[in-house]
Amino acid sequence: MLFSHDGIHDSQTHLASPAYFYEQLRGEISYATRSGNPIALIKVVFENPKSEQVRAADILHFSFELAQLTRREDCIGRLGINEVVIIVREGEQHADLFLQRLIAAKSLSVNNSLQIKISLIYGQDNEDALKMLDRLDREEMISI
């Protein structure tokens, strides 16, 4: 995976790079602790249902469509070749609505060439970024 010259963005998708995403996540957890408004994390995994490698054009299209569905204050990080995680501020208020938008968004599947799976967790008291991401990885994913 290549990153832009600024180290903040993934060069292919223009989503947040892992290092920048982790920094943002730590900051959002700190803010959520102070404000009392827990964040949510949404993991989206996309695969080619025909067991073929996902084409670069499909990744770019998926990333663009996902960014269109996301609020400016929410951070989308590309953490794997076919995996993104979204930090949703004020998670209890916004995450369920955002999840419904993702489920309804037919454009994410890139004309049904991608299989999309999603999981969602809410931040808990005294939970750091690593614990939160570990819990997200263990969360059951739903196919949309």
pLDDT in tens, 24-69: 999 999 999 998 889 999 999 988 877 677 888 888 888 888 888 8
Residue 3 has pLDDT above 50, yes or no: no
At 84 the three-state DSSP class reads: strand
Say which amino acid occupies 141: M
Q: Is residue 3 in a domain?
A: no
Query: Higher confidence at residue 138 or residue 36?
Result: 138
Q: Which residue has the tokens 């004020």?
A: 90
Q: Is residue 26 in a domain?
A: yes
Q: Is residue 34 in a domain?
A: yes
The size of the chain, in residues, is 144
Instruction: State the average pLDDT for the chain.
Output: 86
Confidence (pLDDT) at 109: 80
Confidence grade of residue 119 (pLDDT, cut at 50, 70, 90): very high
Confidence (pLDDT) at 81: 84
Number of separate domains in the chain:
1
The reported pTM is: 0.88
74: nearest Cα among 54, 56, 95, 53:
95
Lookup: tokens for 4: 């832009």
Lookup: tokens for 65: 């469509």
Q: Is residue 111 in a domain?
A: yes
Residue 4 has pLDDT above 50, yes or no: no
Residue 69 DSSP one-character state: H
Run of H or E including 121: strand 115-122
d(CA 28, CA 103): 25
Q: Is residue 9 in a domain?
A: no
CATH of the domain at 52: 3.30.70.270
Lookup: tokens for 79: 């953490």
Domain that holds residue 126: 18-143
